Chains A and B, each alone.
Chain A
Amino acid sequence: MYPQRIVTSWLAALLLAAGATAAHAQQLTIITSFPKDLTEAYKRAFETRNPGVKVEVLNRGTSAAIAYVREAPATNKPDVFWASAPDAFEVLNKENLLAKVADLANPAVPKKVGAYPVNHPGGFYLGQALAGYGLMWNTRYMKANRLPEPKEWVDLMKPVYFGHVAISSPSRSGTTHLTIETILQGEGWEKGWQQVLMITGNSAAVTERSFGVPDGVNNGQFGIGLVIDFFGLSAKASGFPVEFVYPSMTSIVPANIGLVANARNPDMGRKFIAFALSPEGQEILLDPKIRRLPVLPATYQKAPADYPNPFGGKVKAKVNFNSELSESRYYVVSSIFDQTITFRHRELVAATKAIHEATARLAGKKNPEAQKLLEEARELAFAPIVSEAKSKDKEFLALFRDTKRDALKTKQLTGLEEYWNSTARKNYVRAAELANRAAAMAR
């Protein structure tokens, strides 16, 4: 074949392909943070039911998906937004990026799960599945390291789990954001942060993606992970040697679906949302690779016997999640977590280790001076950097909520973050020193 012809044929292919992309009359675009197993199943089911329709899936992390919708030009918005975190939808709704879909709600879906409304009261997004947060662990890892099975978040603060826990960061993972918020709301700001700091001090890693946690637990890198339920349930159903429990301090919240305002193909988007809420659409959630909790109570009759059912009382959630509160401090929580935990994880772990060691050394010994030092170390390492009063300060919250960043704001914000970061570092290093001194006194 002459090169000339090669060139011509490539050019022809290029033109053909470009032409093919032009014909998209019946295209539905879904932007989602859900894994491929789930999106593929829905795509296939929806395309078979609607011949001629092409479902396009944009897979983004929750925060990247918000940024995508916000930045897409008005003529080119995706149709459906589908993600776990209700607060993400709150963010979108506040920015008027969602269209009303109240009429698509399936009437057979209960109004509330626990005290939490399944659908958005204003009708801008609908619960499509339910999600609780809990602990998953690798049974082989636990056996090899002789670790007891944890039941509650507070268990993870025990020294025995040091270096065996994994968690993701709320700024990267919407589901981790919910987990942290659940703890903060359940225990209160100060005590909640203290728990979060102690758990992350015991953690082997703060992973980049929310999936990094279950993945690490699945392959045995980590013993225990803080995860959203379906990560644990689907891994177990796929044959991995893992277990999952809901601690009592959990909340059950809906994973939502919504129609993007000014969507390109709103009719098809509405059709998809209705399908996802129909009995057929709900049944897909039971797939072993997916394992999410349906919002339609009738679907649980088709589920395996040990399937957790939040409507039947099998899962008890103590915390009534307040999504408005969560939304109001969304970026603050993420930023505090990143600055004082994610980016200072090494120092936090070192301080935690020193404190555990000193505690063990001093156990049963009467040494008030050493105990005092140790108390001081704990205070330094595990007290939140922002007080509860400050966390409610309107001006402070506004600084983080504004997405328009002029040079002055950027400077203010980076200055604050930098202050948290360096203070946290100083505190952790000092805490480790104090703990070591306390331990030395025990001799």
Chain B
Amino acid sequence: MSTRITWPQVAIAAAIGLFLFAFLVVPVLTVIYVAFVDGTGGFTLSHFVSFFHISLMRESFWNSLYVATLSVVFATIIAVPLAYFTARFQFRGALLIQTLGILPLIMPPFVGAIAMQLIFGRSGSVNLLLNDWFGFTLPIMDGLNGVIFVEAIHYFPFILMNLVVALNNIDSSMEESALNLGASGMRLFRRIVFPLAMPGYIAGAALVFIKVFDDLGTPLVLNVTNMLAPQAYLRITSVGIEDPIGYVIGVFMIVFSLVALWASALVLKGREYATMQRGYSGLAKRRLTPWQGVFAYGWIVLVLALVLAPHLGILMLSLAKVWSFSVLPEGFTLQHYATVFQDSPRMIWNTLLYCGIAAGIDVVLGTAIAYLILRTRVPARLSLDFIATAALAIPGVVLAIGYLRTFRGMELPFTDDLLTSSWLLLVVAYSIRRLPYALRSCLAALQQMHVSLEEAAENLGARKSRAIVRVVVPLMAGGILAGFVTSFMTAAVELSATLMLVTAQHDAPMSYGIYLYMQSAAGRGPGAALGVLAVAIVAIGTYLSHRLIERREAEKQSQPLARIEV
């Protein structure tokens, strides 16, 4: 590793720093600043006092906490048994569980919410049947219940995936000792396994908490407005950009994300201590007793049914002629897809364009930051990593409010268009919000490549830039692509920032289009059709990234030197 700091390195680091500063640090600080200053620029806490004086705000505050907490609780109830089955039992349903872990994530929760309303709502399929058969209905989708239900079903995979990894990393001797000492069943799980898997669980739970706290689309689609994210959106769009309460809400949202992340980091610190010997080798997977088998498969089938409900619902809605107060729609048609392709091909194109550019920016920045961190000694290179990753903790609504305020009245160079009404800002917002994912991917890819390969190229006379372009980047290609795909597909279904930053229909991406279509009677079908297309795009992306990651895993085993073709 060369120890000299070169000018190009510094220039690149400075350029990245400037980008992050302008589009992440400044907007977020602006939101915080506005929340704390009075009309004349002096420091004040009066906006916070006003906030707590408005009972709607107090109510929204508690509702957001309540919804986020209960979503974590229900996601836990769904995920923990599934994780335990896969990690500890001989079990044929493992593939099913893996599928379960991906299916919800490919559908944006606000699209799922529309479908869930039709299936579990007041006069949804389930309640109509229940009422027919047993004479009662369940208020699953009423008010906050609906938000919790939709979010829990959507985000439980975060807990599931983290927990499976954590369970597999537990030192097997711990469990063996417990078994030898006579603990088994629930007691073994409660006293030994779960406490040891805690770090993984907390990481997943914190992520669920943050995502639910930030979600704007789901409550709006379900007509719930007494929560923080919808209130921030409504205050800023209808009262106006001057309204300080919107910024106060922003500050609360940032604080809660940070606390959740901090809590998970704190617990993760204890991880080394918990697992002295990593890897799962000794303990044989146990057999399910018949009774356990019934429970395990029963649970999986139930969760599968819940997880598939929004997918089936939205598919049916997109094909239905009329679906009203009936268990299933009557009559099917392809007309809605025709409408979408006739009216809104532009929106599909916009999604591909914006998310493509955003993901492109992300992998370029990700690769550069990864290289600066691992291969150079540029000062402050770690703070680049820190700032880029901090974007995880910034809710989309807050970032959007920050943009609207910071760049208010600013015009695009060479035009008299406003920056805040240009789609470029949307692209920047996507790229900032998805940068952490791409960065992790690029860092991992670069870590796996030995520095000697790059040095060899330089010894053979290649300049630094040439070595990077011809050797380093091609060898990182798998990781870069995986990062690109992850950024792309998560940006494709983002609504929180989109809803606030889109001004013209012409410039709107699909996620906004789905929301917009759903505002008229005749638009329900086309909206659902657009939703199905969005899900299809994300599903394809997910499949591709899985393939890429699998291939990379395979490549890791093989000799890296053998594959060099410079």
List chain A positions with a Cβ less than 8 A from chain B.
2-4, 6-7, 10, 13-14, 17-18, 21-22, 24, 29, 35-37, 39-40, 54, 56-61, 63-64, 67-68, 70-73, 75-76, 138, 140-141, 144, 171-172, 204-205, 207-209, 211-212, 214-215, 218-222, 231, 234-235, 238-242, 288-289, 338, 343, 403, 405-407, 410-411, 414-415, 417-418, 421-422
Q: Is the CB of A204 within 8 A of B223?
A: no
Taking a contact as CB atoms under 8 Å apart, the answer to whether A36 and B325 are in contact is: no
B123 engages A220 (CB within 8 Å)? yes
Interface pair A138/B324, CB less than 8 Å apart: yes
B325's contact among A54, A63, A70, A140, by CB below 8 Å, is which?
Answer: A140
Asked if B522 and A289 make an inter-chain contact with CB atoms under 8 angstroms apart, the answer reads yes
| A58/B46 contact (C-beta < 8 A), A18-B412, A71-B240, A418-B53 known | no
- Chain B residues with Cβ below 8 Å from A238 are 521-522
* Closest 9 pairs (CB-CB, A-B): A220-B325, A35-B520, A220-B123, A235-B521, A140-B325, A10-B360, A289-B522, A64-B237, A63-B238
Q: Which residue of A37, A411, A415 contacts B523 across the interface (Cβ within 8 Å)?
A: A37
Please give, as numbers and ranges, the residues of chain B lying within 8 Å of A73 by CB-CB distance: 409, 418
The chain B residue sitting closest to A34, CB to CB, is B520
Q: Are A208 and B223 in contact (CB under 8 A)?
A: yes
Kindly identify which residue among A36, A209, A241, A407 contacts B38, using a CB–CB cutoff of 8 Å: A407
A407 near B55: Cβ-Cβ < 8 Å? no
The residue on A at minimum CB distance from B242 is A405
Residue of A nearest to B367 (CB): A3
Give the CA-CA distance A205 to B415 in the complex, in Å: 46
Interface centre among B38, B53, B122, B323 (most CB of A within 10 A): B122
Q: Complex formed: what's the CA distance from A439 to B505 in Å?
A: 55
Additional pairs, 17, CB under 8 Å, beyond known A70-B240, A76-B416 = A3-B474, A3-B477, A6-B360, A10-B356, A14-B357, A18-B424, A24-B415, A57-B504, A57-B506, A67-B238, A68-B237, A208-B223, A219-B123, A220-B326, A239-B321, A241-B324, A411-B50
In the assembled complex, the Cα of A56 lies from the Cα of B422 at a distance in Å of 12
Q: A221, B415: Cβ atoms under 8 Å?
A: no
CB neighbours of A36 from chain B (8 A): 343, 505, 516-517, 519-520, 523
Give 1 or 0 for each of B409-433: 1 = CB within 8 Å of chain A CB: 1001011111001111000000000
How many whole Å from B561's CB to the nearest CB in chain A? Answer: 21
Q: Is the CB of B238 within 8 A of A64?
A: yes
Q: How far is the CB of B342 from chain A (nearest CB, A)?
A: 10
The yes or no answer to B239 lying at the interface (CB within 8 A) is yes
Q: Are B46 and A407 in contact (CB under 8 A)?
A: yes
Q: Check B521–A240 contact: CB distance below 8 A.
A: yes
Q: Check B523–A10 contact: CB distance below 8 A.
A: no
User: Which of A35, A141, A205, A417 gathers most chain B CB within 10 Å?
Assistant: A35
Docked CA distance A234–B521 (Å): 7
Q: Point out the residue from B356, B357, B519 that lies within 8 Å of A35, measured CB to CB.
A: B519
Contact B505 A208 (CB under 8 A): no
Judge whether A138 and B325 touch: CB under 8 Å: yes
Give the CA-CA distance A315 to B243 in the complex, in Å. 42
Q: Which residues of A contact B520 (CB under 8 A)?
A: 35-37, 211, 234, 289
A140 to B237, CA, bound (A): 37
- Which one of A54, A61, A144, A406 lies within 8 Å of B238 (CB-CB)? A61
Residues of A within 8 A of B457 (CB): none
- B516 with A2: CB separation less than 8 A: no
Query: What are 6 A-B contacts defined by CB distance under 8 Å?
Result: A3-B469, A10-B360, A67-B238, A171-B238, A238-B522, A418-B55
Binary flags per residue of B282-320, CB closer than 8 Å to A gives 1, else 0:
000000000000000000000000000000000000000
**Number of cross-chain contacts by CB at 8 Å:** 186
Contacts of B361 in A (CB 8 A): 10
Residues of B within 8 Å of A231, CB to CB, are 521
Shortest C-beta distance, A165 to chain B (Å), equals 13
* Nearest-CB residue, chain A, relative to B422: A21
CB distance from B501 to the nearest CB of A (A): 12
Complex interface residues of chain B between 344 and 364 (CB less than 8 A to chain A):
353, 356-357, 360-361, 364
In the assembled complex, how far is the CB of residue B441 from the closest CB belonging to chain A, in whole angstroms?
A: 14
Residue B511 CB within 8 A of the other chain: no
Q: Which residues of A contact B503 (CB under 8 A)?
A: 58, 68
On whether A10 and B357 interact (CB within 8 A), knowing A21-B415, A59-B516, the answer reads yes
B421: nearest residue on chain A (CB-CB)?
A: A76
Q: Which residues of B contact A218 (CB under 8 A)?
A: 324, 521, 524
Task: Indicate if B54 sits at the interface (CB-CB under 8 A).
Answer: yes
The answer to whether the Cβ of B218 comes within 8 Å of any Cβ in the partner chain is no
**A183-B67 Cα distance, complex, nearest whole Å:** 36
Check: B102 CB closer than 8 A to any chain A CB: no
User: Of the candidates B241, B415, B505, which one forms a contact with A71 in the assembled complex, judged by CB atoms under 8 Å apart?
Assistant: B241
What sequence of 0s and 1s flags, for each residue 380-412 of chain B, a beta carbon within 8 Å of any chain A beta carbon? Answer: 000000000000000000000000000001001
- Chain B proximity of A73: nearest CB distance (Å): 5
B477 and A221 form a contact (CB under 8 A):
no
Complex Cα distance, B238 from A67, in Å, reads 6
Taking a contact as CB atoms under 8 Å apart, the answer to whether B324 and A219 are in contact is yes
- Residue B56 at the A interface, CB < 8 A? yes
